[in-house]
Amino acid sequence: MFRSDNFFGIVIVFALLAACAGPDVASGIYDPLETRNREIHEGNRKLDKHLVGPAADIYGTGIPEPVRVGVNHFASNLGEPGTVVNDILQFKLGSALHNTARFILNSTVGVGGIFDPATNMGLESRPSDFGETLHVWGLKEGAYRELPLLGPSTTRDTVGMAVDFFLDPVGLIIQTPERYVTTLASGASRIGDRYRFDDTVDSILYDSADSYAQARLLYLENRRFQLGQGHNEIDDELYDIYEEFDE
């Protein structure tokens, strides 16, 4: 059950967790690695322009929508056990039950996860990840990071992603060659998302004056919203300017 790469995973986790220290930046942008991040961003942009974007077009136009939706459901269903683990680690037992029920329903009635009958029955998707677990445990966001291929993240979310990868129950149980199927599904699902949100991605990556800054802002704002760090002081300052305006 315990593979050797788990060990390296744990080492990475502790190394990165140490890096989570830093100022409390719940309300602003903390980006000490900006120079490096921007280089990675340029790489990601080129990758999207020449490879991921065109591949998404081929996938999106070549594969009928119902099939693409099925692939997305299948991939996200496989993530459900990992979500349950995180729910438990966050002491959200209601969500753990909710997501367990989703997994069982969708794996059976939903034909191996291709369909999502759970949502129609009132069990809506309620995703979580280890980045959120770290947040619940009181860890700070850390620095903003743009990761090669994976895109915008923070120190805390990068650690979370690594932990999710190494401790994924499905990944631990399923061996090759079935493993290739799950990897392929999640890859296809992401390519599908790139196609679905094509206009949005294009407007951020290619139409904005500073795509790095735009992606950074959108990621941080949306992530904080997901984690319930919603209301922040920066917003108040933002709107306080309004008070200064003359009629």
Partner 1 sequence: MNSFIKRRQFIAGSTVAMLLLTAPERAMAFSVENAKKLIGRVVADINSIINSGKTEAAMLRDFEQIFVNYADVKWVSQLVLGADGRSASAAQKAAFAKAFQGYISRKYGKRFREFIGGSVSVKKAKAIKSFYEVTTIAVLKGEAPFEVVFVVADKNGRFIDMKIEGISLVKAERTEIGAMLDKRRGDLDQMIADVKKAG
Asked if 3 touches partner 1 (CB under 8 A), the answer is no
**3 vs 46 by CB, closer to partner 1:** 46
Asked if 230 touches partner 1 (CB under 8 A), the answer is yes
Residues 59-98 that bind partner 1 (CB under 8 A): none
- Nearest-CA neighbor of 116 among 95, 96, 94, 99? 99
**10 vs 211 by CB, closer to partner 1:** 211
List 125, 170, 174, 183, residue binding partner 1 (CB under 8 A):
125
CB of 98 to partner 1, least distance (A): 15
Asked if 35 touches partner 1 (CB under 8 A), the answer is no
**10 vs 57 by CB, closer to partner 1:** 57
Task: Tell me the per-residue interface mask from 144 to 163 with partner 1, x by CB under 8 A, - otherwise.
Answer: ------xxx----x------
**11 vs 28 by CB, closer to partner 1:** 28
CB of 8 to partner 1, least distance (A): 24
Of 37-45, 46-54, 93-101, 233-241: span binding partner 1 (CB under 8 A): 233-241
Asked if 235 touches partner 1 (CB under 8 A), the answer is yes
Q: What string of H, E and C letters represents the secondary structure of the chain?
A: CCCHHHHHHHHHHHHHHHHCCCCCCCCCCCCCCHHHHHHHHHHHHHHHHHHHHHHHHHHHHHCCHHHHHHHHHHHHHHHHHHHHHHHHHCCCHHHHHHHHHHHHHHHHCCCCCCCCHHHHCCCCCCCCCHHHHHHHCCCCCCCEEEECCCEEEEHHHHHHHHHHHHHCHHHHHCCCCHHHHHHHHHHHHHHHHHHHCHHHHHHHHCCCCCHHHHHHHHHHHHHHHHCCCCCCHHHHHHHHHHHHCCC
Asked if 245 touches partner 1 (CB under 8 A), the answer is yes
Using the Cα atoms of residue 69, residue 99, residue 145 and residue 147 in order, give the sign of their dihedral. Answer: negative
Residues that bind partner 1 (CB under 8 A): 119, 124-125, 150-152, 157, 190, 193, 196-197, 199-201, 203-204, 208-210, 213-215, 217-219, 221-226, 230-231, 235-236, 238-239, 241-243, 245
